[in-house]
Amino acid sequence: MNRWLLPEDIADVLPAEARKVETLRRAILDLYQSYGYELVAPPILEFLDSLLTGTGSDLNLQTFKLVDQLSGRTLGLRADMTPQVARIDAHLLNREGVTRLCYAGSVAHARKPVGSAAREELQIGAEIYGCATWEADLEAITLLLKTLGLAGLKRVYLDLSHAGIVAGILDGQAIDQAEIEILYDLLQSKDRSRLSTWTQCLSTDAATALMALTELNGPSAEVLKNAKVSLPQHAMVEQALAQLEKLVGAITNLSADLEVNIDLADLRGYQYHSGVMFAAYVDHFPQPIARGGRYDHVGRAFGRSRPATGFSLDLLALSNLALVSQRKLAILAPWIEDVTLSDAISRLRNSGEVVIQMLSNEPVETAEYILDRELVKQGNAWEVVKKPS
C-alpha cells in the first residue's frame, strides 16, 4: 500500500484552497466579533457520554469512538461542535444573561454525510444563549446571511420549519421513540403512502394534520395561510406559526436577493431542535450550505435549562463556492548576508508586503503568489522595482 494514501473521503487541503479557507475564516470570525460573539475552542476529543449528551442517534452513528488508555473510558472524536459549545455555556461560563459564542474547528464523521464530499469538515458557527424570543433567531439568520455574503454568495434560498408543530400535533398521543423516528423519516421523505398507513393508529385530526404537513411547503406567505386552515387549533401549533410569521416578516427585509420558503415537513435534526429551524441553500450546491435553529433542550440535558439558537456550516464547502480567489502579489529578493537588505525586507513585511527570498539562487515555485516585483540594489540602497516579464 502506498504510504501517502489517505483514508476514503479524507483529503488534504492544498495551498490555493487553504488560503481561501483561511481568508474566509478570519473574515467570518471578525464579523462575529463585531456582533459581540466570543470565540471558544472545544477539544477535538471528549468522553463519549458528554459528547453525545442531548443529541440523537444520528450523531452517535457519525462519531468515531476509541478507548482512553488513561481512564479506560470511551472517547469520541467530535462530529459536531454545537453540543460542546452548549456544555461550555452551561458549566464553564455559567452566566445568567445573554451569551454569544462562536467557534471554528475540525469535525470528523464515521460515515460521509449525505451531500458531502468528505468525512472531515471545518465547522464554523455562532450560538446565542439565554434569549428565548424570536429576535435571537433573527440575529442568527442575519449573521448567517452576512457569512454567505463574505464568500460572495448573494442569492440565498432560506427554508424555515418549526419543531413545535409536530410536537403539538402529537400532543396526547402515546407513541414510543422508535415510532417517532419512523414518523420523522416519513415526513422528511414526504412518503405519503407509507405515512398514511403509519397514521392509522392516531386520532383522525392528528392523522389529517400529519398528512397535510407533506404539502405545506413553498412560498412563506402561502404556506402560513394554508397552515392556519389545515392544522389543528392547538397552543403549540399556533405559537409555532406565529413565530414563523413574525420571523418571515423581519427576514424578508434583510436582502432583495433572499428567497424565503417554508417546508413544515423538513425536520432534519429534530432530535435536538426545539423551535424554529432553518436551512440555507445557494446556487450550484444541492444540499444546504448551512443549517441552524433553536435547541433549548441541549442545555437542559447538561443540567441547566437555557434557551439557545444558532447555526453552523462547513467552511471547506463554503470555500469551494466562494468567489474570493485572487492571488497575492509578492516581491522576490536575493538571499545574501547584507544588513541593509535584511532591514529593507523587514520594513516591507511589516507594511504588509509578501517578500520571498531565493535560497541558493534556486528558482522560486509558487502557485499562490505572483512575483511581480523584486528587490535590487541601487547604489547603497535596496529598492523595489517591477520585475521584467
CA distance 333 to 326: 22
Please check whether residues 168 and 116 belong to one and the same domain: no
**DSSP β-bridge partners for residue 219:** 261
User: pLDDT truncated to tens, each residue of the chain (389 aa)?
Assistant: 577 788 888 888 888 888 889 999 999 999 999 999 999 999 999 999 888 876 666 788 889 999 999 999 999 999 999 889 988 998 888 888 999 999 999 999 998 877 677 899 999 999 999 999 999 999 999 999 999 999 999 899 999 999 899 989 988 777 877 888 888 889 888 889 999 999 888 888 889 999 999 999 999 999 999 999 999 999 999 999 999 999 999 998 888 889 999 999 988 766 678 889 999 999 989 899 999 999 887 777 777 778 999 999 999 999 989 876 677 899 999 999 899 999 999 999 999 999 999 987 788 888 788 899 999 999 989 999 998 87
Please check whether residues 265 and 319 belong to one and the same domain: no
Domain that holds residue 195: 156-280
Please check whether residues 71 and 160 belong to one and the same domain: no
Please check whether residues 165 and 201 belong to one and the same domain: yes
Please check whether residues 182 and 270 belong to one and the same domain: yes
CA distance 175 to 159: 28
pLDDT in the model for residue 136: 95
Please check whether residues 103 and 21 belong to one and the same domain: yes
- Say which amino acid occupies 278: F
Report the CATH number that the domain containing residue 228 is assigned in CATH. 3.30.930.10
Dihedral (CA of 57, 61, 64, 66) sign: positive
The model carries a pTM of 0.86
Please check whether residues 332 and 316 belong to one and the same domain: no
DSSP for 187-250, written as a single string:
HHHT-HHHHHHHGGGS-HHHHHHHHHHTT-EEEHHHHHHHHHHHS---HHHHHHHHHHHHHHHH
Please check whether residues 121 and 165 belong to one and the same domain: no
Q: Tell me the backbone φ, ψ of residue 314, rounded to 5 degrees.
A: -90, 115
pLDDT in the model for residue 386: 94
Greatest C-alpha distance within the chain:
94
pLDDT in the model for residue 55: 65
Number of independent structural domains in the chain: 3
DSSP annotation of 117 reads S
Please check whether residues 203 and 84 belong to one and the same domain: no
Considering 280, 304, 336, which residue would you say is the last residue of a domain?
280
Of 135, 149, 126, which Cα lies nearest the Cα of 323? 149
C-alpha cell at 372: 511581480
pLDDT in the model for residue 158: 96
24 Rama sector, left if φ>0, alpha if ψ -120 to 50, beta otherwise: alpha
Please check whether residues 250 and 293 belong to one and the same domain: no
Residue 236 neighbours by CB under 8 Å, 6+ apart: 164, 165, 167, 168, 171
Please check whether residues 85 and 191 belong to one and the same domain: no
Please check whether residues 118 and 190 belong to one and the same domain: no
